[in-house]
Amino acid sequence: MVDTRGVLAIIAAVAFLAGMFYYRREREVYAFFLLGAGFALAAFWGLLGMALSRTGPTQVPGDIYLAMSGSAVVMSMYFFIEGRSTFRER
C-alpha cells in the first residue's frame, strides 16, 4: 500500500532525476528549478514524517524529520535562487 509520503518520495525522486538529466544536457535553468522542486517536496515529506511521529510510535524521532526538512528547505531555496539568477543572465 502506498501512502501520501510514498507518493511524495516518488515524485521528488522523479524531479531529482529529471533535474540531473537536464543538467547533463546543459539546460541549467530547467535543472535548477526541478532540483528546487524536488527538495521542496522532500521538505514536505519530512514535515509529514514529523507529524506522523508525533501521533504514534515510530522508529525515527520527530526531531530527525525536522532536521531533514530544514536542510531540504535550505537546498530548495539555493536551487531556486540559482535558477532565477541563471534565468536572468540569459
Q: Per-residue pLDDT for 57 more than 80?
A: no
**In terms of Cα–Cα distance, which of 35, 40, 46, 38 is closest to 69?**
46
Express each pLDDT in 71-89 by its tens digit. Answer: 999 999 999 999 999 899 8
Secondary structure of residue 18 in the 3-state scheme: helix
The total domain count for the chain is 1
Q: Per-residue pLDDT for 39 more than 80?
A: yes
Q: What is the pLDDT at residue 72?
A: 94
**Domain extent at residue 81:** 4-89
Express each pLDDT in 1-22 by its tens digit. Answer: 678 888 999 999 999 999 999 9
Report pTM: 0.87
Q: What is the pLDDT at residue 85?
A: 92
Q: What number of helices (H) and strands (E) belong to the chain?
A: 3, 0
